[in-house]
Amino acid sequence: MRQRRRPGRPRVPLAWRTAPRAALSSPLVVLVTAATALLTCFLATATSLHSSAAAGAAIADRAGSVCEDQYGPFFNARSLTPSEAALVADTVRTRAPRHGFDRPVVGLYTPVGAAEFGDETYRFRLAYRDGGVDDLELLRGTRDSGLWIGSELAGAENIPLGTRGHGGALPPTTGVYRDLRLPAPDPWCSARDMAITNRLVDHIETGAIVFATDRDTFDRAAAHFDRLERAVVGFRLPPPSTLAEAQDRAARARALIADVDAELRARGHADLVHGSVPFQRSIELANRAETNVGLSILPLAILAVLVGCAGAGMLGLQWYQRRYAVIRLLTARGHGPGALGLLALAELGLPVALGGAAGIVLARVLLPAYGPPGTIESGETWAAAFGGCGALALSLLLLVSVVALRVHREFQRGRPAGRRLRSRLLAYVPWELGTAAVAWVGWLRLTEYGGTSRLGDPLPQVDPLALTYPVAVVLTVGIVTARVAFVLLRLSHRARLWSRPSLQLAIRRLAGARTAVVGVLVVTMLAVGTLAVGTGVAEGQRGALENKTGMYVGAQSSVDVGRDVGTGETPLPEGARTGTSLVGRFNHTAGGPIVAVVDPATFTDVAWTRTVDDDRLRALLERISAPDGEHLPALRIGAQAEPPDVAGLPTLHVAADLDTFPLLSGEPGYVVSRAALTEAQLAEVPQWTVLSSGPLRDLTRAFEAAGMVHPNAESRADVLDALPFHVVEWTFSFVTLLGLVLAVVAILALVVAVETRRRQNALAATLLVRMGMRPASLLRSHLAELGAIGGLATVAGVTTGVTVAAISVRRFDPVRWLAPVPELPDLAGLVVSIVAVTAVVVLLTALLAVRSARTATPAELLRA
């Protein structure tokens, strides 16, 4: 009679309870198991975090393109009475808290009118904004209630403080502020057409801007205006840092707009105000950036995570083989497949769980190092961690399932069947044709990539297949390399190199373990290839963005200046005399191309010359600085016919040719030296620009301080929408990360391959040493064996990766209309690093192999 278990006794059998301890019998297996889970969960978590960070980075990138008072709802009303403006402001103010918005900022602007100040009548616009005077620089006077007039008006007409305009009807002038100039300071960005005098048109007509210090003052001063030209209501909010925050804010903003509309309609003022969410477009772009990056890296990530999970399955198989005797014993005692699967879990589950948890944590901690520079929300972190946990669960499930399935097949169904046949069939499947087909389709899609960037829709329609093209090529070459290596190793028995025994033995060892060798070879080659291609394309995009913007602006920043400044008649302002260079331009020559006049003394120090040989450019500018008889020597930029006739300049004579030139941004043109022109000729140059190697803000401040006009201010940082470049860069930075993970896998695989052959190596080495082989020869033999794997993988991976990157980096150019085309960056450092790491790993593993052979105990040798 079977005795039943006593109540209260532990239900888990002893073998299962002690299984975690059994795992310690092989620390290397524990380490490899933990590392496999770590890498799998790291990748699963990193994928989600990477695309979330891409959204955050896109939001941050777009925040710079929207005025700072437009990160929330924005109400704009035109041509309305002061009472209607008050109604709009009050309605928004009362409704805003219901939708989570704080106090609104109201801006009111009258039409340009005329009023007498002192003895003169001036055209001016009366302006007010809540807290607006805090964003003005008070030069003279006080912050007392009253009107502030611009320094230009006050200085030119000598209007004293305390003056009451319009025959004393206006409040007193209590302050003089520094006039606002374009480019508009951030606080006045959305009101630039109302609060800043437009000097490009008749500023007499557009009038001076007079600010009221407070709302009462404005109401009193504006009493003689029938209507206001503009009333705006916005909110001072920090830019959203994440996509989710931006979406939430946009949703609340839309609700507020609807609420305000309904309220005003109910009061009979329908269509009085137009509500909008200016950041909505940025949200859409950020959303698309996230989707593009996510979709592009998803296939690779899924592939990598599945490979990681398959690694967990392989660990299960390896555990099954290692614990075969125990499994057979427990099966004989009546334990089923599920129980034995759980035994594997009990033994390896802890390393898997710890490794997986470490992978999830590492993915989050290291995100700033590998991911786009964007903020992510805690919810997104948890979602990513959930994905990592999913991969962890899948790994554990596979571990259990593989063991359970094998137990079922071998001990329940009767006997293992057809494994070798299936393995052979799998080996014969031409996987490389599949990956080559993916690469080919990717290439076709890639040819249509880029060039789709348009104003207002800067993101190209990214095709994930196009973005996976480089990796598909690397994968194809990797599989082909592995297949060729496998065939060569099968045929290697024909090699007779016994005159060099260390080499012959290395070949035999490779041939004897060719399946493992091919596996390590593929993983290493993929690691090196993806590292090279990821780094190449990502760096290429980064460099392309820098060079395109640099060549477009001509330097870090630029502003246009008047002809008097260009000719030197009026000196540059004090703060703009160093780190700047004056460039003149004939934009509409008879022959069409631009003719630029550069200062050879300063140009090469200031201009963006990264794509041009600096020394050569300096020498060329020197060469064209002296007139050539009646001709004016010039550099011809780009392919074009004869030099144009330029009114006011001698006939141009081509002294040298260059492909591109700063400021011409890929346009054909000619460059002449300022030093070769007379003052009269300089005076004929219609347009002058100051290039600066410093930030735009410093340059404009210098001009503002000197009270000099400086239109068309441009900065390299914001002249071009960088998002399309970033999308490609972020995608391939993930490919680089994938390469790094694969590199770790390859190193682990190499160490495991050496360790698992420890006994065979030890036995063979003992025999060889007995036969007279010296330890140095033994080391050479292992170096040849492992070096062959590492060397072949490195050469194939680097060659493929760099070639593919070089081919595809131009195809990824999202702004093809702007020169220069992206170039493959200098990858010498990466290649040297890869070779150095490979050499170190090969050396260490060879030493490990020799050490294990030389320190083997007699017992190990006997068992072998």
Partner 1 sequence: MPESPTVTPAYRLRSVCVDYPTPAGPVAGARDVTLDIPATGMTVLAGPSGSGKSTLLRVLGLFERPDRGTVELDGTDLARLSHRRRRALRRDRISLVFQNPVENLLPQLSVAGNLRAAAESAGRNPDELGDVLGELGLGGTGGWSVTALSGGQQQRLAFGCALARRTPVILADEPTSQLDDTSATRVLDVLRRLTDRSLTVVVTSHDGRLIDLATRVVRLRDGALHDSALHDRAGHDGVPHGAVTDEAPARKGHGTA
**Closer of 2 and 494 to partner 1 (Cβ):** 2
In terms of phi and psi (left: phi > 0; alpha: psi -120 to 50; beta: otherwise), the region of 797 is alpha
* x-marked contacts with partner 1 along 441-470 as a string, rule CB under 8 A: ------------------------------
Closer residue to partner 1, CB minimum distance, 293 or 407:
407
Alpha carbon 510 to its chain centroid, in Å, reads 42
Task: Select from 76-84, 327-335, 615-623, 625-633 the region that touches partner 1 (CB under 8 A).
Answer: 327-335
CB of 31 to partner 1, least distance (A): 19
**Least distance between partner 1 and beta carbon 357 (Å):** 25
98, 267, 274, 413: residue in contact with partner 1 (rule CB under 8 A): 413
Site for partner 1 in 569-628 (CB under 8 A): none
Q: Which is nearer to partner 1, 332 or 639 (CB)?
A: 332
The SS3 of residue 583 is strand
| Interface region with partner 1, contact rule CB under 8 A, candidates 14-22, 210-218, 348-356, 577-585 | 14-22
- From 172-180, 328-336, 613-621, 666-674, span contacting partner 1 (CB under 8 A): 328-336
Residue closer to partner 1, measured from CB, 25 or 712: 25
Name which position in 13, 390, 579, 638 contacts partner 1 (CB under 8 A).
13
d(CA 745, CA 663): 47
Give the number of other CB atoms < 10 A from CB of residue 509: 21
Supply the DSSP string of 346-378, one letter for each residue.
Answer: HHHHHHHHHHHHHHHHHHHHTHHHHS-S----H
Using CB under 8 A as the criterion, what x/- string covers residues 143-172 for binding partner 1? ------------------------------
The answer to whether residues 297 and 50 touch, using CB atoms and an 8 Å cutoff, is yes
Site of tokens 């310690």: 24
Q: Which of 412, 515, 578, 833 binds partner 1 (CB under 8 A)?
A: 412
Report the residue from 8, 21, 119, 615 that binds partner 1 according to the rule CB under 8 A.
21
* 15 interacts with partner 1 by CB under 8 A: yes
Single out the residue of 330, 545, 663, 762 in contact with partner 1 (rule: CB under 8 A): 330
- How far is residue 744's CA from residue 352's CA, in Å, rounded to a whole number? 17
Two structure tokens written together for 780:
């050479």
Whichever of 24 and 840 has its CB closer to partner 1, that residue is 24
* Binding pattern for the stretch 414-443 against partner 1, x by CB under 8 A and - elsewhere: xx-x--------------------------
Helix, strand, or coil here: 236? Answer: coil
- Smallest distance from partner 1 to CB 329, Å: 6
Q: Which stretch binds partner 1 (CB under 8 A): 7-15, 551-559, 609-617, 772-780?
A: 7-15
In the bound complex, what is the minimum distance in angstroms from residue 395's beta carbon to partner 1? 23
DSSP string for 800-826: HHHHHHHHHHTTT-S-TTSSSPP----
- Cβ atoms 96, 256 nearer than 8 A: yes
**Quick one: which of 223, 262, 329, 647 contacts partner 1 (CB under 8 A)?**
329
CA angle 654, 657, 663 (to 5 degrees): 100
* Cβ atoms < 10 Å from Cβ of 412: 11
- Name the residue nearer to partner 1 (CB basis): 2 or 770: 2
Q: What is the total residue count of the chain?
A: 864
Pick the closer one to partner 1 by CB: 16 or 703: 16
**862 binds partner 1, rule: CB under 8 A:** no
Please report where in the chains the tokens 């990821």 appear, as a residue: 534
Q: How far apart are CA 533 and CA 712, in angstroms?
A: 39
Amino acid at 296: S
CA distance 472 to 478: 10
Q: How far is the CB of 424 from partner 1 (least distance, A)?
A: 12
- Name the one range near partner 1 by CB under 8 A: 21-29, 43-51, 76-84, 578-586: 21-29
Evaluate whether 54 touches 372 at the Cβ level (below 8 Å): yes
Please report whether residue 411 would count as binding partner 1 according to CB under 8 A.
yes
Spatial separation of the C-alpha atoms in residues 624 and 736, rounded to whole Å: 46
- Going along 259-395, which residue ranges are E strands? 274-276
Q: 56 near 242, Cβ under 8 Å?
A: yes
Residue closer to partner 1 by CB (options 5, 494) is 5
Contact partners, residue 446, CB within 8 Å, separation at least 6: 463, 466, 469, 808, 811, 812
Q: Which stretch binds partner 1 (CB under 8 A): 10-18, 81-89, 368-376, 516-524?
A: 10-18
Nearer to partner 1, 415 or 770 (CB): 415
Are the CB atoms for 765 and 850 separated by under 8 Å? yes
Taking CB under 8 A as the binding criterion, the range among 110-118, 260-268, 330-338, 494-502 that sits at the site for partner 1 is 330-338
Only one of the segments 276-284, 332-340, 450-458, 787-795 lies at the binding site for partner 1 (rule: CB under 8 A); that segment is 332-340
CB 704 within 8 A of CB 178: yes
Strand partners, 125: 209
Candidate residues 27, 167, 238, 334; the one interacting with partner 1 per rule CB under 8 A: 334
Q: Minimum Å distance from CB 387 to partner 1?
A: 35
Q: Which range, of 410-418, 521-529, 601-609, 627-635, touches partner 1 by CB under 8 A?
A: 410-418
- Cβ-in-10-Å burial (0-12, 13-18, 19+) of 615 comes to exposed
Q: Rank residues 123 and 328 by Cβ distance to partner 1 and give the closer one.
A: 328
Nearer to partner 1, 79 or 412 (CB): 412
**Using the 8-state DSSP alphabet, how is residue 66 labeled?**
S
Residues 6+ apart with CB under 8 A from 113: 123, 124, 125, 126, 207, 225
Residue 406: CB minimum distance to partner 1, A = 14
Using CB under 8 A, which of the segments 129-137, 331-339, 471-479, 772-780 binds partner 1?
331-339
Residue 656 contacts by C-beta under 8 Å, 6 or more apart in sequence?
Answer: 620, 623, 624, 635, 636
From the CB of 761, what's the least distance to partner 1, in Å?
A: 24
Report the alpha-carbon distance of residue 584 to residue 110 in Å, rounded: 39
27 binds partner 1 per the rule CB under 8 A? no
Residue 79's nearest CA partner among 203, 225, 214, 241 is 225
Candidates 475, 553, 584, 849; CA nearest to 712 is 553
Q: Which of residues 266-325 bind partner 1 (CB under 8 A)?
A: 325
Q: Which of 305, 319, 360 is nearest to 38 (CA)?
A: 360
Question: Rule CB under 8 A: which of 343-372 touch partner 1?
Answer: none
Q: How far is the CB of 403 from partner 1 (least distance, A)?
A: 16
Q: Could you tell me which stretch among 77-85, 216-224, 404-412, 664-672 binds partner 1 (CB under 8 A)?
A: 404-412
**How far is residue 576's CA from residue 556's CA, in Å, rounded to a whole number?**
13
Which structure tokens are listed for 588?
A: 């509409």
C-beta of residue 276 within 8 angstroms of C-beta of residue 108: no
In whole angstroms, the minimum distance from the beta carbon of 1 to partner 1 comes to 8
Pairing mode, if any, of strands 147-150 and 173-177? Answer: parallel
Q: Tell me whether residue 9 or residue 770 sits nearer to partner 1 (CB atom).
A: 9
* Longest Cα–Cα distance in the chain: 123
- Interface with partner 1 (CB under 8 A), residue total 32
Q: How far is the CB of 366 from partner 1 (least distance, A)?
A: 36
* Minimum CB distance to partner 1 smaller for 337 or for 470: 337
Name residues whose C-beta falls within 8 Å of residue 217's C-beta, 6 or more positions apart in sequence. Answer: 128, 145, 146, 147, 171
Tell me the closest approach of the beta carbon of residue 858 to partner 1, in angstroms: 16
Binding flag, residue 22, partner 1 (CB under 8 A): yes
Question: 27 vs 238, which CB is nearer to partner 1?
Answer: 27
By CB under 8 A, name the binding residues for partner 1: 1-6, 13-15, 18-19, 21-22, 25, 325-326, 328-336, 408, 411-415, 417
